[in-house]
Amino acid sequence: MVRLALIFTVILQNVYGQPPLPPLPMKAGGCYLVSPEVEIYRVEGEAVIVSFPLFKRVLEVRNIVLASAEYLILKDNGTEGVTFQGQGRVQQHDKQLWFLPAHVSDSGKYICTYRNATYCVTGSITLHVYESSFNNMEKLSYPISATVGEYLRIPCPSLSSFNKTERLIEWHKDSSPTALQLGRNAGLFRQNTDKLIIPTVKRSHGGTYTCQLTVLINDKQYKVSRAIMLHVQGSDPTVTTTVPDFSMTTDSELISTAYIPILQPPVIISPLNGTVFESPHGSGLELICKVLTDCQMAESTVVTWLVDGQSVESPYLDRWTLQGGKRVTRVSEGCQIEMRLIVVSMTEDDVKTELKCVTQNQGGRQEVVIQLQLEDSTFTWIVVATVAVSCFLTVASVFLYAIFKPKMKKKTDYILARQNSTF
């Protein structure tokens, strides 16, 4: 069915054609002008590689391949440009410009030109290099958002152009000189290659994170860093505590109660809150709720599905059923619990249903709400009709060929008789 849908799409494209790409504007000097790249913000003393991804993409989409053409990158000083060679502190290597390392004076606009005798394309990018004492992290950081209770992976961005050394990336929070302690037993943070992992986001996790690493360029080591500003939405779950009466407690009992471990609430990693699942009318649908928790808490962690606030085990919800019970598997971040829900047959009434996955243990409670939607059958009917017409034409062609095919002359059978000299 998917293959037929693709064939149908290709037929439509061949019949109606692809929309033409808008023409590129032309600047003075006869060069076609590409939109400027996203501006880059970096810190002095670090290795910086400037590339032109949007410019390159425009050439690929428009199939612009210029024979005997070359890239020329220069710094625009208003009246004349400064070109760079393949050696020195600032070097051009093919379609990139390397700063080894970058200085504040390198800030400015850089022009990339791709030309030959008959064709010319040009683009630009602006580089901002700040002093190491610059404290406006909003300009230097990549903003990301997360919700309280979310399982979050924070990448160290824009590193694909560098060759990393064997040393791991160091992570710092809010300009602290001390690196975060990472690992399974390190507490709130973990690390997976170049990503910082926060298993359960809290309001206190908001702030600026800096990843630092050493890269190797031309057999020399350079420092590279990136800043990420994390904005946390929502509020931490309310925790109610009771103050015990220590008037009748011995000193040894007081010491033993001083080391009560902090229980982390379970985290629903799939589906996300607000996810919409589509299915055709009358067909079945399988939904899987995945929860991440500490392995010590896996047995006591409850995961269930609620339909309009009722458990799916209610006799009134016979079209909904749990499959296989709670399934627990060990993963690198802890233990993952799965609970599968089967919708026997999708109807229009299910679109109005409030469907929740709820998980709870001694550490806390979390729930996500998802929506169901009936799949649009218009395209399905088009594909079915196309298949039916194709089958009909095939059968008709075979039938007509069988009726009107030319008749072959019947081959004559010959009998060889022995000649006799007498009659």
Write out pLDDT tens, residues 271-284: 888 888 887 877 88
Contact, 40 vs 48, CB < 8 A?
A: yes
Contact, 216 vs 234, CB < 8 A?
A: no
| Residue 321: C-alpha distances to residues 120, 307, 343 (Å) | 64, 11, 7
Nearest to 106 by CA among 35, 37, 38, 45: 45
Which of the four pLDDT bands, split at 50, 70 and 90, describes residue 17? very low
Instruction: Please tell me the class of the 24-130 domain.
Output: mainly beta
The answer for 68, left when phi > 0, alpha when psi is -120 to 50, beta otherwise, is left
Where helices occur in 2-84 by DSSP H, the ranges are 2-16, 53-61
pLDDT of 322 > 50? The answer is: yes
The rounded mean pLDDT for the chain is: 77
Contact, 356 vs 306, CB < 8 A?
A: yes
Range 321-328 average pLDDT? 79
Report helix, strand or coil for 115. Answer: strand
Rounded to 5 degrees, φ, ψ at 10 are -65, -40
Q: Angle at Cα 384 formed by Cα 378 and Cα 387, nearest 5°? A: 145
Question: CA quadruple 137, 133, 49, 165: dihedral positive or negative?
Answer: negative
Q: Give the model's pLDDT for residue 347.
A: 81
The token pair at 155 is 């990448």
Q: Give the model's pLDDT for residue 363.
A: 81
Q: What element of type H or E holds 220?
A: strand 220-233
pLDDT of 123 > 70? The answer is: yes
Instruction: Quickly count: other Cβ atoms within 10 Å of residue 208's Cβ.
Output: 16
The domain spans of the chain are 24-130, 137-233, 267-374
Which of the four pLDDT bands, split at 50, 70 and 90, describes residue 345? confident
Check for a shared fold between 24-130 and 137-233: yes
For the chain, how far is it from start to end, CA to CA, in angstroms? 78
Q: Measured between alpha carbons, how far is 93 from 113 in angstroms, rounded to an integer? A: 14
Q: Give the model's pLDDT for residue 107.
A: 93
Amino acid 16 reads Y
For residue 231, what are the β-bridge partners? 145
Report helix, strand or coil for 420. Answer: coil
Nearest to 139 by CA among 208, 85, 79: 208
Instruction: Please tell me the class of the 267-374 domain.
Output: mainly beta
Q: How many helices (H) and strands (E) does the chain have?
A: 5, 25
Report helix, strand or coil for 395. Answer: helix
Contact, 233 vs 148, CB < 8 A?
A: yes
Q: Which residue's structure tokens are 């929502």?
A: 234
pLDDT of 420 > 60? The answer is: no
pLDDT of 405 > 70? The answer is: no
Quote the distance between the C-alpha of residue 293 and its chain's center: 23
Q: Is the pTM of this model over 0.75?
A: no
137-233: which CATH number, 3.30.70.100, 2.102.10.10, 2.60.40.10, 3.40.50.2000? Answer: 2.60.40.10
Q: Angle at Cα 112 formed by Cα 111 and Cα 116, nearest 5°? A: 130
Low-confidence winner among 49-53, 77-81, 126-130, 419-423 (lowest mean pLDDT): 419-423
Q: Measured between alpha carbons, how far is 43 from 45 in angstroms, rounded to an integer? A: 7
Question: CA quadruple 249, 252, 253, 258: dihedral positive or negative?
Answer: positive
**For residue range 74-87, what is the model confidence (pLDDT) as tens digits?**
888 755 556 677 67
The token pair at 127 is 């580089």
